[in-house]
Chain A
Amino acid sequence: MWRQVVALIVKELLVVLRDKQSRMVLVGPPLIQLMVFGYAATYNLNNVPIAIYNQDNSAPSRDLVARFTGSPTLQLVAVLHSDRRIDELIDSRQVQMVLVIDPRFTQSLLTRVPAPVQVIVDGRNSNTALLIVGYVNTILSEFALAWDAAHGNPGPMAVLDMRARYNPTLNSQWFIVPGIVAVLTQVVTLLVVGLSVARERETGTFDQLLVTPLRQFDILLGKCLPGILIGVIEASVIIAAAVWWFDVPLRGGLSALYLGLFLFVIAVTGIGLMISALAMTQQQALLGAFLFMVPSIILSGFATPIANMPAWVQDLTLLNPMRYFLVIVRGVFLEGSSVSSLASQYWPMAVIGVVTLAAAGWLFRRRAY
């Protein structure tokens, strides 16, 4: 019996790997996407174009301006001499921020009245706006601290001593790149599995499979394992790239990671097989794969936290295997999580895998004749 299943697996792999175009699609695009998205998907601030309008031409205000122009994150593109161009620069997106220093800046500092500093930010991307405001606040606090120290002022009674665990420099690439492992693994596995049965049905070879000595369980197994194999290999390549190319620290054990990966790929395979069993043509299977993939990526916590979603959407995400795998990948990579601390993430994926595979099997039986 095993010989026959192995033969079916070999045949499935050949179908995907024999065609040059299909082979290319499995190898090239995921790697290109990893490279492009690994750098593109960032919440770090870089090259933020800014303009400065300094109405107080004195040593302290020039010192403050120097702290802005010297920052590697900000890029000075315009020095203003009146407030006329501020709106135009912001509206046309030539700058994302304008710093306006009040004419009474130095006078206020010396008389210990809070010196007004206006920070105008383009809010069309409100997340970037928040990050810029936070970054500017840090520069202003550093300036204030240095000013107080140099002028013998007592300083505030308490200061914040902020630290970040697991990712001390708050590099968002460490968060996104492990997420890409999950996204790309799902895309590849879902397409390999999702189209396999629909393809056979469309070309009529599914009926031929049914009249072979293989039992239905064997056929199901033969359809699953190639997808699982390709998914795990693809994921391994991306994990290797995350560690050696993107230098994301891998703090936990590979066993915790691969247990999660294995369960995730099984769950995705189950969903792919269900789509495949429901679809009459490859076209429909493709549509189904698309319709599952888009919400599963957007509602997975990949780019926006699940905690920010309203309760009913959060409940919906419980059905999404990627949600659990993202916690596992990021936990193992950054926090060094162990198998036991991730137990609550493993079992829901196992349940999803078992249920979808059983449903796919049932659908096959119903659709077979």
Chain B
Amino acid sequence: MNAASLRRLRGLLRKEFLQILRDPSSLAVAFVLPTVLLLIFGDGVSLDARNVPLALVVERPDTLTASFTSQFEHSPFFRPRRFFSIQAAERAMAAREVEGIIWLPSDFTRRAASSGNSPIGVIVNGADANNARIIEGYLQQAWANWLVAQARADGRPSPLPLAAQPQVRFNPAVRSRNYLVPGLIAVIMTLTGALLTALVIAREWERGTMEALMVTRATMREILIAKLIPYFLLGMGGMAASVAIAVFLFDVPLRGSLAVLTGASALFMLAALGMGLLISSFARNQFVAGQIAIITTFLPAFILSGFVFDINSMPGAVQIITHVVAARYFVAILQSVFLAGNVWSVILPNAAALAVMAAIFLGAARIVTRKRLD
């Protein structure tokens, strides 16, 4: 790059910065969009079941059944409602008024006192399978606690032969927001990266100023670099705002270092901008560009990145596909940097993958974007 080229680049950069400052729409996409989305989604996206409406059917109430059902009364997890027959409870479940039913049959206390192993009927609405499993887990915990408490009250040894001690590392309170908010940042930044670049190139074409740029001595490479630098900075600004919201508003711990976070974000931002550039110069018409943008950015970042759905549990073929989704690597880094700290064995391979993707997308965008008139 010689002196003339540098001078041209400086001129182009000045133009881009002035354009950004005078037209607030790109500032809006870079800052307002991510913060508003994160505020709404950060509050809205949660897998922690709370206040689950639960039907209690106690056919013959006594002190033993009361000791079992009372633990649901003040639990943050359940909102119990009494029903007088199992049929009525089933009807309420069919009408989606309750998510689960606990049924203590009339011979519950008699069987508990004589033979033991007295069955407690539990029926959950399995339509939302994940929620159903979480509810089952809560109920299992409640049951074990009740058994131990009853035995202690009677002065008997613990009725359970095993004492399971689950220990959830990095997130002992098992707060789903702690892992969903870092993932959301990746999803939102994918979106802003793609949208920003869509604005970048398409606006020049639309206003016809691309042709004006083409007849100057500036090369396509200089034009692209001048486009990338300011929007890269804008994207990083949006990223910083998102991290601040996550830490200060949503109380997600940030255990790793800011330097690592910044480095990883820079690599991801380059990949996202490169992908956006590639899309906007690839597709002939906007309908196709729009479809491709949604298909290749938002939906994969949402579903294939490990943001909500665990990549380990996907079938092998799908796991291979996830390797071309840039958000996948960024989500892995974000979840580790936020919750676990600077875990180099996670950060280095994923950062390398991001660097490779950024190089490929930017290189391809450079090749595809030509000075052309059509």
Stretch of A5-13, A167-175, A215-223, A229-237 at the chain-chain interface: A167-175
Interface residues of A in 289-328 (CB under 8 A from B): 289-291, 293-295, 297-299, 303-305, 307-310, 312-313, 316-317
Q: Is the CB of B124 within 8 A of A165?
A: yes
- CB within 8 Å of B: which A125-163 residues: 125-131, 133-134, 136-138, 140-141, 143-144, 147-148, 153-163
B172 contacts A by Cβ under 8 Å: yes
Contact A115 B162 (CB under 8 A): yes
Decide if A123 touches B169 in the complex (CB within 8 Å). yes
From A36-44, A261-269, A346-354, give the one contacting chain B: A36-44
Query: CA separation between A36 and B295, bound complex, in Å?
Result: 12
Min Cβ gap B262→A in Å is 20
Minimum CB distance partner of A295 in chain B: B40
Residues of A within 8 Å of B51, CB to CB, are 307
A313 x B40 contact (CB < 8 A) = yes
Q: Are B167 and A121 in contact (CB under 8 A)?
A: yes
Give complex CA distance A303, B47 in Å. Answer: 9
What chain A residues lie within 8 Å of B340 (beta carbons)?
A: 91, 124
Query: Which residue, of A168, A191, A293, has the highest number of chain B Cβ atoms within 10 A?
Result: A191
Which of B2-10, B210-218, B243-251, B312-320 lines the interface with chain A?
B312-320
Which 4 A/B pairs are nearest by Cβ-Cβ distance? A164-B126, A123-B171, A167-B126, A114-B163
Selected contact of A121 from candidates B166, B287, B295, B310, CB within 8 Å: B166
Q: How large is the interface on A (under 10, 10 to 19, 20 to 34, 35 or more residues)?
A: 35 or more
CB distance from A55 to the nearest CB of B (A): 14
Q: Which of B54-62, B175-183, B220-228, B353-361 is near enough to bind chain A?
A: B175-183
Instruction: Point out the residue from A33, A154, A289 that lies within 8 Å of B295, measured CB to CB.
Output: A33
Instruction: Please tell me which stretch of B80-88, B129-137, B270-278 contacts chain A, meaning at least 4 of its Cβ atoms lie within 8 angstroms of it.
Output: B129-137
A29 touches B295 (CB 8 A): yes
B343 with A112: CB separation less than 8 A? no
In the complex, the answer to whether B140 meets A170 with C-beta atoms within 8 Å is no
In terms of DSSP, what is the predominant structure of the interface of chain B? helix
> In the complex the two chains form, is B44's CB within 8 Å of A309's CB?
yes
B interface footprint on A94-110 (CB within 8 Å = 1, 0 otherwise): 00100000000000010
Given A37-B299, A92-B345, A330-B127, the answer on whether A155 and B306 have CB atoms closer than 8 Å is: no
B169 touches A25 (CB 8 A): no
Task: Indicate whether A363 reaches chain B with its CB closer than 8 angstroms.
Answer: no
Contact A130 B137 (CB under 8 A): yes
Q: Report the Cα distance A36→B299, complex, angstroms.
A: 11
B332 contacts across to A, CB distance below 8 A: 93
Residues of A within 8 A of B310 (CB): 45, 125, 127-128
Interface residues of B in 323-342 (CB under 8 A from A): 332, 335-336, 339-340
Question: Nearest Cβ distance between residue B109 and chain A, in whole angstroms?
Answer: 9
Are B121 and A161 in contact, with the CB atoms below 8 A?
A: yes
A290 touches B288 (CB 8 A): no
* B94 contacts chain A at the CB level, 8 A cutoff: yes
- Taken together as a complex, chains A and B put the C-alpha atoms of A121 and B172 apart, in Å, by 10
Taken together as a complex, chains A and B put the C-alpha atoms of A22 and B186 apart, in Å, by 29
* Residue from A113, A115, A158, A309 in contact with B143 in the complex, judged by beta carbons closer than 8 Å: A158
Cross-chain contact B127 with A304 (CB below 8 angstroms): no
Q: How far is the CB of B245 from chain A (nearest CB, A)?
A: 15
Contact of B140 among A88, A144, A160 (CB under 8 A): A160
List the B side residues contacting A157 at CB < 8 Å. 112-113, 116-118, 147, 150, 159
Q: Does A56 contact B (CB under 8 A)?
A: no
Contact with B along A173-188 (1 / 0, CB 8 A): 0110000000100010
